[in-house]
Every structure is written in structure tokens, then in C-alpha cells.
A and B are shown apart, each in its own frame.
Chain A
């Protein structure tokens, strides 16, 4: 099974800050990496797919990069609505998807 490890598990930041969340795969997954945002009590929302492609309607302050085993999600200038939990997910193996454990982004 492909394991996904996110860091940090939690992060405190202020409105306007730039934040970076990382995700590492236990084996190479090419660009088959997706990022989700989940606000409390809500379903996850796809932000970025194929490591760096912004989903339609997602603000351009979100960006993704990486390939192989190491990936990053960057939020360029935090807005109040960005405080949420973020998950990475590999879709390299369509037989077995796996999520990272999540990164909770909190207001400092």
C-alpha cells in the first residue's frame, strides 16, 4: 500500500501569511496527487488535482507542486475562510486510494 505523510499536522498562521503544507508518498506516484480542503461539519472540497492543476472555481492563491514522492500545497495569502483542515490523497493506484492524515490550519 502507498502511505501518505503530511506535515505539519497542525499549523497556526495569520491572515495574509503564506503557508506551505507538504505531503510525502511512500513510493513514487508521478503526479497523481490531489489536495482537499475540509471545513468543520462539511464535506471535503477538491482544490488541486494532478499535483498542480487548480480545480475550477478555486482561488488562485492556492497552488500545488511536486512529483514523484514529494508534494507541496501553498496558500499565497491566507484569507479568513482558508482556516480549515487540508488533506492530500494519492490516486496513482486506482485499486487503493490513500489520504494523508490531514493538516489543521488555525488562526494565530
Chain B
């Protein structure tokens, strides 16, 4: 059974870069028809899609975050990554990684448990 696990620092200083890793276990990251993505949820707020990556490296970003976000993948390690530069308090959130499947009309059928990131000095 496919599982996703986020990891990374829980505290990031303002103006620095937030870096998170999502590790895929129980399945392949290179299977056709799957996108791997990041979603975040600020305290008490709704879900915000950050972006997706395909195993080939093709990326798709939320235009509102595109200038500060980079998503990358290392298929050999079965990991994909999120970097958000120049963070501020508004980037404080729970960050989730998830799989979008063409089998599910690109609904996100597998999610990590989420990791809390706080931006504070």
C-alpha cells in the first residue's frame, strides 16, 4: 500500500527558504499517470494547492506562489521536494504531500499525514 511521509524543519526564520521532503514507500514514484504534489493549510483556513511534479520532472505551480516555489524529484530515492523562498508569517501552515492519479480523474487519492511549519524569528 502506497504511503507518503513529509519531513523537514518545523521552524523557519522569516526571509529564509522552507525545504520539505516527501518520501514515497510501498510503490513506485515513476509510474505513468501519477502527479506528485504539495498542498498547504494555514491555521484555521482551507486547502491551498501549491504545485505538482511528474516523474519526468515537469512541474506545475499555483500562479500565486510560482515566483517563490520550486518542486523537484529524485526518482532513485523515491522522494520529491518542496522549496519556498523568502518565507513570511503567511507561509505558516501544515504542508501535505499527495498523489494525483489519472485513474481517479487526478483526484488526490493518497496523502501524507502533514507536517507543521512555523515561520518565526
- A residues engaging B (CB < 8 A)? 1, 31-32, 34, 36, 38, 43-46, 49-50, 53, 55, 87, 89, 91, 94-102
Contacts and interface: CB of A to CB of B under 8 A. Distances in A.
Interface string B75-106: 00000000000000000000010101000111
Interface residues of B, number: 24
Nearest to B97: A43
A87 B105 contact: no
Q: Is the contact region of chain B dominated by helix, strand, or loop, or is it mixed?
A: strand
A30 to B, nearest CB: 9
Given A49-B107, A50-B107, A53-B104, 8 more contacts: A1-B63, A43-B114, A46-B109, A50-B105, A97-B100, A98-B49, A99-B47, A100-B46
Nearest to B66: A96
Interface of B: 35, 37, 39, 46-49, 52, 60, 62-63, 96, 98, 100, 104-109, 111-114
Contacts of B48: 99
B108 A34 contact: yes
Contact of B35 (A45, A53, A87, A94): A94
Contacts of A36: 47, 108
